[in-house]
Amino acid sequence: MFWLLYILFEIFIWNYPARAFIVGEHPVFHMGASILNDMLWVPLAIAAPVYIILLIRRLVRRLIIREIISFLLIILCTGVVVNVELLFRVQFLFIAVFFLLWGLHIYRSRTISVHFALFAIALVGLVIHYQSQLIPSWTKSTPTLSLISFNINTKAALDDQRTIQFIRKRFPDIVCLQELSVREKEVIVKNLGDLYPYFLSPASRFGKNDVMILSRKEILYGDHIPLKTAAKTYHSANHAVILLHGRQINVINCHFHHAYRHLGDYLAAPDSTDHYKMLASAYRQQQEEAQLLAAYAESLDGPIIIAGDFNDTPNSYIYRLYAHSFKNAFATAGWGLGATFGKWSMQVILPDILRAFAFDSSRIDHIFCSDDVQIVTAELENIGAFDHLPQIITVALR
């Protein structure tokens, strides 16, 4: 019964059309599902070794051999469980071993246990949702452009220096930064101007414009895209046309409205009409900003790269809106969970003794590319100083 309910929960959390059919456009359900998107796999990851041990005990007759195998498996699981990203990365091994042993058990016993069958279906749901993120990415293509997207949200001069040191170490062709202040913009230009002679910086007259593009390649054209909605304040995105090997590439950098900050207020007082109105308004603004930028991007000619802090996860309306016309870099070429946010938020609410177990649980920072941009690699790097992780990609033009 547990795994049957779990499968239904998978469908509700991971399948946006099914969820929208059930609850409509109620923001609380969709935002709650987004929060759970990259945590729903954890029970499967814990249960998979247990089921493998059960199958080993049924298949291996010699007591000493099955006890040794079970012991080694327990040691392996204990070693990786403290590292969530590593635990996710070894899931493809556990899934493969489970189905191999289960198939062998069915062949020998000529029976199919309903309990094992439901667990297998739940694993299939995991595979369908994450697809290529579950396995290492192998590519022989030679990248021609590298890009970093990073919500720096700096709080101190030390953070500024860590940002600068990180960018200098990786030295990508293009850097897309989000959530900058005027002071941080000046620090970035002063300390990275020797490496990045071309840049498109925030301009306050274009609404809440806190995004910046740095480029080693010539910027032929730069503009600010106001994402005006019915809200009093609106965000803007940056659009730079980069010249690379004689071809023009559209690079868009965005930071959508953050609706989730209102979710906690609503959950603390669910009977409050005012809290719900603020939550619904922020959620609607976030979606409308995404719609405006998507329409703008689809009107452009040539290769397109859209990077930024989308403030929403892969099971959301916004992600599906962009995935309809563009490829997500990490989903295409990344290996692992790819979560860019959540650890710091967990540490705030956890007691001191449990803070070491906090982990990034939400992939809300994304890079989308048009079909004429081949995504070669996609990875994250933990600097240890910010609430977001930077995403680094390399691409090749088709």
Better pLDDT: 26 or 344? 26
Strands 211-215 and 174-178: antiparallel
Better pLDDT: 175 or 345? 175
Q: Residue 90's closest CA among 134, 127, 46?
A: 134
Is residue 82 packed enough to be buried (19+ CB in 10 Å), middle (13-18) or exposed (0-12)?
A: exposed
* CATH code for the domain defined by 145-397: 3.60.10.10
Question: Alpha helices, DSSP H only, in 138-230?
Answer: 157-170, 182-192
Question: Helix count (H) and strand count (E) of the chain?
Answer: 15, 12
The Cα–Cα gap between 22 and 179 comes to: 35
Calculate mean pLDDT across residues 370-397: 89
298, pLDDT greater than 90: yes
207, pLDDT greater than 70: no
Least confident of 57-71, 338-352, 358-372: 57-71
> Residue 267: which pLDDT band, with cuts at 50, 70 and 90?
confident
Sign of CA pseudo-dihedral 204, 209, 215, 221 = negative
Calculate mean pLDDT across residues 283-307: 95
**Chain-centre distance of CA 306, in angstroms?**
14
pLDDT digits (tens, 9 = 90+) for 134-188: 999 887 778 889 999 999 876 655 577 888 889 999 999 999 999 887 778 888 8
Domain ranges for the chain = 41-134, 145-397
pLDDT at res. 345: 73
Least confident of 240-249, 263-272, 291-300: 263-272
> Residue 1: which pLDDT band, with cuts at 50, 70 and 90?
confident
Least confident of 74-78, 103-107, 223-227, 290-294: 74-78
Q: Residue 250's closest CA among 273, 226, 221, 208?
A: 221
pLDDT digits (tens, 9 = 90+) for 244-253: 888 999 999 9
Euclidean distance between the first and the last CA atom of the chain, given in angstroms as a whole number = 49
| C-alpha to C-alpha distances, 235 to 51, 65, 224, nearest whole angstrom | 49, 62, 10
Report the share of the chain in percent with pLDDT over 70. 90
Kindly report the average pLDDT of the chain as a whole number: 87
Q: What angle do CA 245, 249, 253 make, to 5 degrees?
A: 140
